[in-house]
Amino acid sequence: MNRENKTKILFVCLGNICRSPMAEAVFRHLVRQEGMEDQFVIDSAGTGDWHTGEPPHHGTRRILDQHGISYEGLRARQITANDGSEFDYIVAMDASNVDNLSRLTKGTGAKVIKLLDLVPGSKGQDVPDPYYTGNFEHVYDLVGQGCRALLEHIRQEDAHKA
């Protein structure tokens, strides 16, 4: 954990309107259910700047509404060079994001991981971009699995540090 004793997590996709804000909202929901929201700083960003300032995609909002998960206040932003040193985990949705993030965060010590690599049996798989596929339900299922696995991964790491 960092100097504030909070684990800082940044979810990243291409435009920060579909997958990464969905992951941010789902992870926030999970830690809120566990009564752990004071232990985390959770954010999301995109590698591109096309949607900066926009709310999540209507498909993301619809699926989150269906599952009773808040996305209030979420707005797209582009990742910055400073994010590499600000966040403990930078969680990418696909291999292309990992490649872009590895270059951007080189030398910062940031842990760049792909979300589904934490899910047993899913290593190497990408979270597909529903902006192109329209399959927000499938993406929601994958993001949920990944976020639960990430929370468990962090718990295990914290237990090893104690």
Does some domain include residue 1?
no
Does some domain include residue 99?
yes
Phi then psi for 41, rounded to 5 degrees? -115, 125
Residue 37 is part of a domain; what is its CATH number?
Answer: 3.40.50.2300
Catalytic one of 75, 117, 129, 148: 129
Of 47-61, 64-78, 101-115, 139-153, give the lowest mean pLDDT range: 101-115
Average pLDDT value for the chain: 92
Does some domain include residue 100?
yes
How many percent of the chain have pLDDT more than 70?
96
| pTM score | 0.94
Task: State the CB neighbour count (10 A cutoff) for residue 52.
Answer: 15
Which range marks the domain in which residue 20 is found? 7-161
Active site residue 13: yes
> How many domains does the chain fold into?
1
Q: For residue 141, what is the enclosing H or E element? A: helix 136-161
Catalytic one of 19, 28, 61, 77: 19
Catalytic one of 13, 28, 88, 94: 13
| pLDDT, average across residues 85-113 | 89
Does some domain include residue 46?
yes
Each residue's pLDDT tens digit, 88-98? 999 999 999 99
Does some domain include residue 64?
yes
* 3-class SS letters over 79-138: CCCCHHHHCCEEEECCHHHHHHHHHHCCCCCCEEEEHHHHCCCCCCCCCCCHHHHCCHHH
Active site residue 19: yes
| pLDDT, average across residues 39-49 | 95
Does some domain include residue 80?
yes
Does some domain include residue 2?
no
Does some domain include residue 86?
yes
The one-letter amino acid code at 98 reads V
